[in-house]
A and B are shown apart, each in its own frame.
Chain A
Amino acid sequence: DAKTTQPNSMESNEEEPVHLPCNHSTISGTDYIHWYRQLPSQGPEYVIHGLTSNVNNRMASLAIAEDRKSSTLILHRATLRDAAVYYCILRDPTINAGGTSYGKLTFGQGTILTVHP
């Protein structure tokens, strides 16, 4: 599996934007970039994913570099509930007959985000 590199920790103030970087210089053309987060004492939670274009959903935005060797998860206004470990994952491109992937997720250490009131 291609490797990702994230800062160990980041801090933010409440209601400010947060940009969480991820480097993935060995990404292959078929790898999707996934972001998950893990709140304290919870299981991982899907946040967003993308392939080449920038993506937005109700939780966050994902900005993907043109060469796809890096990406940034953007939380537009951090809240205290956003304090979590954020994981950038390149999804194992195991494809089934339906064309979607069901391969395992390989988690790294992630970035611990602390949000200050």
Chain B
Amino acid sequence: EPEVTQTPSHQVTQMGQEVILRCVPISNHLYFYWYRQILGQKVEFLVSFYNNEISEKSEIFDDQFSVERPDGSNFTLKIRSTKLEDSAMYFCASKTPRSYGYTFGSGTRLTVV
């Protein structure tokens, strides 16, 4: 069964550093998403992306965050200057136009120290 692949599975970074989280969505999917889950809390929507532009973003997704689909297969989330409170699991998801279900990756655990 096709999967959404996320790398790395775990990333440790120093506060203030830039990080890029990578995702390879399922190949025929057109809608892409990032969510995050702080330990013990709810899964929270960050951003949706379609047709090479952001469709919707949450208030969490401030100027420190950006997304890109650089080469037609990867979908990346960049955090420009990480804060301690950015420590969380980050999940990528994708969807086809005709399906109702969203497919999530296994996540990247980001630890900011």
Question: Residues on A close to B: CB < 8 A?
Answer: 32, 34, 38, 41-46, 49, 87, 91, 94, 96, 98, 100-109
Residues 87-113 of chain B: 1 if any A CB is under 8 Å from the residue's CB, otherwise 0?
000010101011111111111000000
Could you tell me the distance between the alpha carbons of A98 and B50 in the complex, rounded to whole angstroms? 14
Question: Do A104 and B91 touch across chains, with their CB atoms under 8 A apart?
Answer: no
Number of interface residues of B (CB under 8 A): 27
Which residue in B44, B99, B103 is a CB contact (below 8 Å) of A100? B99
- Judge if B65 is at the interface, Cβ distance under 8 Å: no
Q: Does B48 contact A (CB under 8 A)?
A: yes
The CA-CA distance from A103 to B95 in the complex, in Å, is 10
A46 to B48 CA separation, bound complex (whole angstroms): 18
In the bound complex, how far is the Cα of B98 from the Cα of A96, in angstroms?
A: 10
- Alpha-carbon separation in the docked complex, A38 to B45 (Å): 15
Give A107 to B97 CA distance when docked, in angstroms.
Answer: 21
